[in-house]
Structure formats: structure tokens, C-alpha cells
Amino acid sequence: MRAVTRRKFVGGAVAVAALSSTKFSFGLPMGLVQGIQLYSVRQQMAQDFEGALAAVREAGFVEVESASLPKKPATEIRAALDKAGLKCVSSHRSFDDITKNLDATTEFEKILGVSYIICPSPGRRKPAVSDVWPGSFTIDDWKYNAEEFNKTGEKLKKAGITFGYHNHWMEFTPADGKIPYEELLRLCEPDKMTFEMDCGWVKVAGQDPVALMKKYPHRFSMLHVKDFHLPPDISYATHQEAKVTELGRGSIDYRPIFAQAAKNQKVTHAFVEQEEFDIPWQESLKVDADYLKNLSI
């Protein structure tokens, strides 16, 4: 082994420090790195998968959460992510994927290298007359989901992957006199699964992400970050009045949300999710990335 001079040692230490600081130059409060949910570029990925990933990285994102991926083998998707310089740390998978097809799902996601598998929608205990949710969901349906989520979480934990649930506005629509989201938080076991709070949809439902984090400390390990123009009286009943926009251009101030997360949560990742684009998509991604990069608490 060749000797290392003091100059080389110091130079190497500086290089390592610079590399570490890169995390924060693309970063968020709490030292999180810039992340984006690939659902944001679902249409672009369908047209030019590698080009869309390259644009995501060019905007300043480092981590991704997969969703709406093109129908390709996991090895091809992993190669494209590696080529773009993106790390896939989490993946959204359907209720059927995490219950009926869990083995195949796990095998696929392990190739991508994820640490989390997240379910973004519930299943139903029994067939219903209407397939429109949340109106057709009873509290028993939500209890059934909690039971299934606990089973999935236990299985994935053995595989070295953390399972979680991602909300929309619908989980805050009362069912049988209860709030489904709070029932999930009560019934889903913390040692088996986590929650990915979509802060934007929480606000659209008329709820407060900060209040939820205070009430349920240590339950949320990931955040979805999006912005809407919201009327003062927004609620689950008037959710259709919410209008998507880029971060920092709508009604949601993420400073108190991240400040609270830093106090009593164990947030490991935060992902932008741009539901729609009302400006050119590459510009939209840059606006979102810059907002997060410059966010201070």
C-alpha cells in the first residue's frame, strides 16, 4: 500500500467534506436530499424514459420515488436510474401488488434498491355496489386495510424493506362517525409500518399536517410536498376547489411543516409530487427544486 502524504490526506478530507456538503446544496431542512415522485413525469416517461429521468436530475433532484413506470424489466429501469444519477429509495405499489403479488413486487423493488414500499390506495373487504371511494368505504373496510397493511409490513420487514401508506384527501372523509386516517394510525402497528404524509392532500382535506404530527409523533417517516391554491374554507367536501400549482406559488407554507417534522418525527425522505403542470414541465421541476433548496426553518 502506498504511503499517503499529509497534503493528499488533507486534500482528500476536503474532497469528502465537499461531497458531503453537496447533499445540503441539493437539500432540505434536516439534511434531507432533494426528492421527487416520478408520477410527476408520468407522461414524459411514457414518451422518453431516459430523457425524463435526465431532466429530473438536471432540475436538481437526487432521490426518486417510483410510480407510473413504463413496463420494463427491473434491471432496465435500474440501469436507466443509475445512468441518470438518481437513487430510487421508495416505490408506490397498488393494494393488489402488496397483498396478492407481494413476492413478485418485493423481488422487483429489491432490484431497484428501494428501502420503502408504499401503498397509495386502499382495498375493500367485500365488493360494493359502487366502486367510487371514499363514499362506498365503511369503517370495516378501513379496519380490513389496517389488518392487511400489518401483515404486509411484517413480511416486508423480514425482507429488509419498510412498508407504509400514503394518503389522499379521501381518508379524511368521515365513515360511520370516524375519520379513516386516524383509524389507520390507531390500528396500524408502528413496528410493522410507517406513514408517508402527503401534506398537500392533508391541506386539501381541510386538515393541518403540523397538528397531525403533534398528535401522532414518530409515525411519519416520509413526506409528499406539493402546493395548491386553496380557498379559506377548503375541506374534503370542497376538495374540487383546490387548484394545483408549483411550490411557493400557492397557499401552503412548508416552513412550519418541516419545523414540526424536525421536532418530533423521524422523516428520512421528502418527495415533490407535481400533480399537473401549468407551465412548461422542465421549468416547473426547477421551480419546485429551487423552492426546497432555499427553504429554511
Q: CA angle at residue 94 from 212 to 64, to 5 degrees?
A: 70
33 or 28, greater pLDDT: 33
Residue range 218-227, pLDDT digits in tens: 999 999 999 9
Distances in Å between the Cα of 38 and the Cα atoms of 27, 68, 219 are: 18, 7, 24
Q: CATH fold of 28-293, please?
A: TIM Barrel (3.20.20)
* Cβ count near 263 (within 10 Å): 11
Residue range 188-197, pLDDT digits in tens: 999 999 999 9
Mean pLDDT, the chain, integer: 89
pLDDT reading at 198 higher than 60: yes
- Specify the pLDDT at position 7: 37
**Residue 271, SS3?**
strand
DSSP code of residue 51: H
- pTM assigned to the model: 0.88
pLDDT band at 129 (very low <50, low <70, confident <90, very high): low
CA distance 105 to 121: 16
Residues 6+ apart with CB under 8 A from 177: 139
Q: Which DSSP string corresponds to 198-267?
A: EHHHHHHTT--HHHHHHHSTT-EEEEEE-EEE--TT--GGGGGG-EEE-TTSSS---HHHHHHHHHH---
274 or 127, greater pLDDT: 274
- Specify the pLDDT at position 31: 82
pLDDT reading at 141 higher than 50: yes
Question: In the numeric block, which cell numbers belong to residue 104?
Answer: 413478485
Angle between helices 281-293 and 49-59 (to 10 degrees): 30
Which stretches within the chain are classed as H helix? Answer: 6-25, 42-47, 49-59, 74-84, 95-99, 102-112, 139-158, 180-187, 199-204, 209-215, 255-264, 281-293
Question: In the numeric block, which cell numbers belong to residue 224?
Answer: 409528499
pLDDT reading at 137 higher than 90: no
**Residue 82, SS3?**
helix
Are residues 156 and 192 in contact, defined by beta-carbon separation less than 8 angstroms? no
- Specify the pLDDT at position 29: 65
- Specify the pLDDT at position 213: 97
Q: Name the residue among 78, 75, 40, 73 with its Cα closest to residue 59.
A: 40
CA distance 79 to 60: 20
- Specify the pLDDT at position 28: 67
Residue range 85-124, pLDDT digits in tens: 999 999 999 999 999 999 999 999 999 999 999 999 999 8
The values of phi and psi at residue 244, to 5°, are -65, 140
